[in-house]
């Protein structure tokens, strides 16, 4: 499903996507189209793209093709999801200790919609850190 979502192919495009969007959350999936965990995430992102188009815009970035942000955002995981609003990185407290990004595939569409909506509402109020509607601290235990 990755081919249905817009790809950003260089650092300038990524910067412009983050800078130019004033009213919506910019959701960027960093990773590879061929990676299995990215395929799961892309499927979910494609499934919700139409539902969140009023308050979020979704882009995909290949971290091999565009390595400009790998060190800055510590993109060492196969699949990473990050949120930006008005040129500001929005962190999400998910109970995992890493508030900068989501580095596992989210399979539930409603769960991801709720997460993006929480990011949007918090970012509009000027918050740089929002609390996730679900606690993911025990995700690895089950």
Looking up residue 88, the CATH number of its domain turns out to be 3.40.30.10
* Assigned domain for 2 exists: no
Give a yes or no: residue 32 inside a domain: yes
pLDDT interval class at 141 (50, 70, 90) = very low
CB-based burial, 12-40: b 16+ in 10 Å, e otherwise:
eebeebbeebeebbbbbbbbbbebebbbb
The closest alpha carbon to 78, from 101, 45, 104, belongs to 104
User: What's the confidence (pLDDT) of residue 92?
Assistant: 94
Per-residue pLDDT reduced to its tens digit, 18-66? 999 999 999 999 999 999 999 999 999 999 999 999 999 999 999 999 8
pLDDT tens digits for range 75-120:
988 999 999 999 999 999 988 888 889 989 999 999 999 999 999 9
Domain residues for 19? 7-131
Answer yes or no: is 136 within a domain. Answer: no
* Percentage with pLDDT > 70 across the chain: 95
> How many domains are there within the chain?
1
Q: Residue 54 CB: number of other CB atoms within 10 A?
A: 9
Q: Which of 92, 102, 104 is nearest to 40 (CA)?
A: 104
DSSP 111: H
Rounded to two decimals, what is the model's pTM? 0.91
Within a domain: 25: yes
pLDDT of residue 2: 64
The pLDDT of residue 134 = 84
CB atoms within 10 A of CB 119: 23
Q: Which of 72, 64, 65, 76 has the alpha carbon at shortest distance from 18?
A: 72
Asked if the model's pLDDT at residue 1 lies above 70, the reply is no
Residue 138 lies in a domain: no
């Amino acid at each position: 499903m990755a081919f249905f979502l817009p790809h950003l192919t260089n650092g300038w495009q990524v910067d412009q996507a983050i800078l130019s969007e004033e009213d919506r959350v910019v959701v960027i999936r960093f990773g590879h189209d061929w990676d299995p965990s990215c395929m799961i995430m892309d499927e979910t992102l494609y499934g919700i793209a139409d539902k969140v188009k009023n308050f979020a815009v979704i882009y995909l970035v290949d971290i091999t093709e565009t390595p400009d942000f790998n060190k800055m955002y510590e993109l060492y995981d196969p699949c990473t999801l990050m949120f930006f609003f008005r040129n500001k990185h929005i962190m999400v407290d998910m109970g995992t200790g890493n508030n900068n990004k989501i580095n596992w595939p989210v399979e539930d569409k409603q769960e991801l919609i709720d997460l993006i909506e929480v990011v949007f509402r918090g970012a509009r109020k000027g918050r740089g850190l929002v609390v996730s509607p679900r606690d993911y601290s025990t995700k690895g235990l089950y």
